[in-house]
Amino acid sequence: MPDAIQPRAEDGSDTIRSMRRVKTTLFVWAALLVLALPAVAEAHNDGRGFWGATNDKVVTDAGFILIAFFPLFVFFMSMLQKYLDKRKDARIAHKAGLGNGRWRGGW
């Protein structure tokens, strides 16, 4: 095999080691969070959460907020996508116009 195709041990070993280290670190942190969060949530406020005691009005208001949030989120993300698509189309059209000069017309 040519040298360019043969894999070498020193080419990506540092990257692989560093990615393995990152993956291990993330796994350890995730495991610590999963194990520690229930104890922290139970430690204060008698397990009522950050909001405190909830009643029907609080739950209903949270439901109305969710009902209003999701359509607004979809609307604004659709507007953002429309804007970004228009920019992409304009960029593609501009690049297409910069092709061969003799096909652009003129004198």
Following DSSP, what letter does each residue of 36-68 receive, concatenated?
A: HHHHHHHHSGGG-TTT-S--HHHHHHHHHHHHH
What confidence score (pLDDT) does residue 35 get? 84
* DSSP conformation class of 80: H
What is the 8-class DSSP label of residue 6?
Answer: S
- With a pLDDT cut of 70, the percent of the chain lying above it is 70
Task: For residues 42 and 32, give the distance between their C-alpha atoms in angstroms, rounded to a whole number.
Answer: 16
What is the rounded distance in angstroms from the CA atom of residue 68 to the CA atom of residue 74?
11
> What's the mean per-residue pLDDT of the chain?
81
User: pLDDT for 44-94, tens place per residue?
Assistant: 666 676 777 788 998 999 999 999 999 999 999 999 999 999 999 999 888
> Which pLDDT score, from 0 to 100, does residue 73 have?
97
Residue 45 CA to residue 50 CA, distance in Å, equals 8
State yes or no: pLDDT of 107 exceeds 90: no
Write down the pTM of the prediction: 0.48
